[in-house]
Every structure is written in C-alpha cells, then in structure tokens.
Structure 1
C-alpha cells in the first residue's frame, strides 16, 4: 500500500498504525502519530486501519533540560 510518510510517498505492507510503527522499528519509542491530520493516540494504534494514500506524520519526542 502506498502511504505518504512525513510528506514522502512510500510503499508499505501494513494494515494498521501499529504495524507501520513496528515496520519502522519505532515500537516503544516516544513518538506521536498523525493520520490524515488527526492524532492517533498510542492506545488506538492497533485498531487504527490504514488506507491507500493515507498521509501519516510521525514525530519523535525529544527531551531536554
């Protein structure tokens, strides 16, 4: 399936946000995921289905101090 990940068209063999996160080796990392301009809470990653041409934004949380 073709998705737009952070603005770049890419092919993935996934059906949910959780599978996408795992395929990117980001499971357990401090990230935020947005699907078609809607934040997807971590608790809903496994149940949030992806569709062809979805626009996904993934950002990493960076701590500092």
Structure 2
C-alpha cells in the first residue's frame, strides 16, 4: 500500500503503525506519532491499522535552544 510518511510517499506492507516504525528502524525510538492528523499513543500503535493513503507523522524530541 502507498502511504505518506513525514511528507514523503512510501510503499509498505506494514499492517500496523508499530510494524511501520519497526520497518523504518524506529521501533524502539522515543517518538510521537500521528495518523491522518490524529495523535496515536505508544500503547495503541500495535493495534492501529494502516490503510492506503494514510498520512503518518513521526516526530522525535529535540534538545537545545
């Protein structure tokens, strides 16, 4: 299926948000996620199904000033 991750179109076979993060090498990273502009808590990522055309944002915290 085709999805958009942080503004870039990607093709994936990941069925869930957690599986997508694993495929992107960010499965254990401390990140915030949203699907179609709706925040998805870490505890719900394994249950959150992805669909063709979904827009996923993955944001990592940054330090500094």
Q: What range describes the TM-score normalised by the shorter chain of this pair? A: over 0.9
Aligned to 1:18: 18
Who is 2:51 aligned against?
Answer: 51
CA distance in 2, matches of 1:54, 1:29: 21
Aligned: 1:4 with 2:30: no
Which ranges of 4 or more aligned residues in structure 1 deviate by more than 3 Å? none
Unaligned stretches of 5+ in structure 2? none
CA RMSD of aligned residues (A): 1.2
- Please state how far the C-alpha of 1:64 moved relative to its aligned partner: 4.3
- Whether 1:34 and 2:23 are equivalent positions in the alignment is no
**What secondary structure is seen at the aligned counterpart in 2 of 1:47?**
coil
Q: Secondary structure at the match of 1:13?
A: coil
5+ residue gaps in structure 1? none
User: Structure 2-normalised TM-score?
Assistant: 0.92
How many residues align structurally? 65
